[in-house]
Amino acid sequence: MLAMDAVKAQSVGRGFDLVEHLRGTTYRDVSTVVLVPTRGMIHHRCANAIHTMIAPMNAKRALLYCEGDEVGHAYNRMIRWVLDHPELSRWKYILTVEDDNIPPPDAHVRLIESIEAGPFDGVGALYFTKGEGGMPMCYGDPVEYARTGVLDFRPRDVRGAIQRDAVVECNGIAQGCTLYRMDLFRELEAPWFVTVADVVPGGGAAAMTQDLYFCERAKRKGKRFATDCRVKVGHLDVNTGIVW
């Protein structure tokens, strides 16, 4: 103990106080399959960010791509393949990363921290829709859902949560950089992700992205989601080079 105190005393003012120490967690199984759907070529900025994400210490991680399919179909195909695989099916998490997103290096590590600490079945990084006035992809208030029974997916106001680096529970999360418990896909029937674009009798229309379709089904089964505002992901417009 005296020796450790001496080491700490010598390190004061040398920058080591900025290093975060995570104790007693590296023995845990946080094995993760990373799924990346893509219609074609991935921009080098996104590819570099995906391949330089820090992996949790002593953890297994596999990276799979699916090219040339609608995004919901791609996710369904990859997840079905993982669940049928003799080894990967025993892993603990699935991390989805989309091909126009730029995750920070610590994205995987931080999402692991949040999902391991909380009661959540899926935790997403914070990113915004593209364009001026973009909205955070953190949808709906679970407190209102519990109070009224109405499941809404309106974008939440996360400005205060961003300043606090908070984890915000919500009804729905997108899939740009999102960690799910593997068991979630065993408990819900396939197809998990369906992009809805239907004409409703009488002249109306129904539309829902594949990620919110999944979240709606999962929420009605009692599952819980959150957005980790510490993990800020860039959303790249490949046509302009602007990152939103």
Q: What is the pLDDT of residues 75-113, one digit of tens each?
A: 999 999 999 999 999 999 999 999 999 999 999 999 999
Q: Rounded to two decimals, what is the model's pTM?
A: 0.86
How many CB atoms are closer than 10 A to CB 97?
24
Tokens of 28: 């845990």
167: left (phi over 0), alpha (psi -120 to 50) or beta: beta
Given a contact cutoff of 8 angstroms between Cβ atoms, the answer to whether 50 and 100 are in contact is no
Domains identified in the chain, total number: 1
Return the axis-axis angle of helices 210-220 and 71-84, rounded to nearest 10°.
50
Residue 7 lies in a domain: no
Residue 83 host element (H or E)? helix 71-84
Q: Is residue 19 part of a domain?
A: no
Q: Quick one: pLDDT at residue 18? A: 52
CA–CA gap between residue 179 and residue 89 (Å, rounded):
16
Residue 97 lies in a domain: yes
131 assigned to some structural domain:
yes
Structural domain harbouring 210: 30-235
Structural domain contains residue 14: no
Question: What CATH number has the domain bearing residue 177?
Answer: 3.90.550.40
Q: Is residue 176 part of a domain?
A: yes
Would residue 243 count as lying in a domain?
Answer: no
* Phi, psi torsion values for 139, nearest 5 degrees: -115, 130
Is 3 inside any structural domain?
no
Looking at the DSSP assignment, which residues form a beta bridge with residue 234? 102
> What is the mean predicted confidence (pLDDT) over 68-74?
91
